[in-house]
Amino acid sequence: MSKTRRFIGTPTDRPATPNFERTPLMPAIAQDAVSGEVLMLAWVDQEAWKASMETGFAHYHSRSRNALWKKGESSGHVQEIVETRVDCDEDAILYIVNQTGAACHTGERTCFYREGQAPQ
Amino acid sequence: MSKTRRFIGTPTDRPATPNFERTPLMPAIAQDAVSGEVLMLAWVDQEAWKASMETGFAHYHSRSRNALWKKGESSGHVQEIVETRVDCDEDAILYIVNQTGAACHTGERTCFYREGQAPQ
């Protein structure tokens, strides 16, 4: 694991495992390890978490295909995991990654490329 | 809205509204506008989004209480919204915030204070 950047922070407690028994499918945030940008939000189950930990590349569970999904498998826009975090309730995940190419399927660097608009 | 920080990025398309018709309750990420840290993940419905936009402070929908929840309402640890983002599918939200005090109910600065651990 590389040295901690400012926006990553330093873990202040022992490592934790996501609680997939309670939450079989949980949201996972991908954050760019270099820029700090939030790149995308997707979903992770136990299989995807295991695959991420074993390979060092971010895996998710595709809800549309109901299948394990290695990010960038077809596009080449893989996410090399630099660090991971688990939240206080063990039901949300943070992947801090080195992003190859665009994180978003639209070709944008991040999926969050638009400002939020108030209800009309 | 304050000037864009590096880790926030610049919107590259017109503003968007979250699609609550398709996704009534969607994940929302809070990111610290100063440090870039990902602070927490919670849930937002149309009511919470509207309250956030109208007040300038992050609101969520508490799933445990099934009620509108102004972050910091009781603790004082409010989140002043600096900018918001909506993702490509309009089913995830990013709040970029000035966090007062701790974001996490444990007293930690961020809910993501532990590293992820491989399955045992």
Domain count, chain A: 1
Of the candidates B112, B106, B108, which has an alpha carbon nearest to the alpha carbon of residue B31?
A: B112
Domain that includes residue A38, residue range = 30-99
Q: Is residue B15 part of a domain?
A: no
ipTM given for this complex: 0.93
Q: Is residue A108 part of a domain?
A: no
- E strands, A45-108, are 59-62, 67-70, 79-86, 93-99
> Does residue A70 register a pLDDT over 80?
yes
Predicted pLDDT at B10: 83
Q: How close A1 comes to chain B (CA, Å)?
A: 11
How far apart CA A78 and CA B86 sit, in angstroms, is: 22
> Does residue B7 register a pLDDT over 80?
no
pTM value > 0.90: yes
Contact A116 B53 (CB under 8 A): yes
Q: How close A111 comes to chain B (CA, Å)?
A: 5
Q: Is residue A11 part of a domain?
A: no
Instruction: Quote the Cα angle for B39-B106-A14, to 5°.
Output: 85
Q: What is the DSSP string of A9-25?
A: ----S--B---TTT-SS
Q: Is residue A65 part of a domain?
A: yes
Predicted pLDDT at A12: 86
Q: Give the domain CATH number at B83.
A: 3.10.20.810
Predicted pLDDT at B118: 83
Residue A100 exposed, middle or buried by CB count within 10 Å (0-12, 13-18, 19+): middle
Count residue pairs from A and B with Cβ separation < 8 A: 169
Contact B29 A8 (CB under 8 A): no
Contact B116 A93 (CB under 8 A): yes
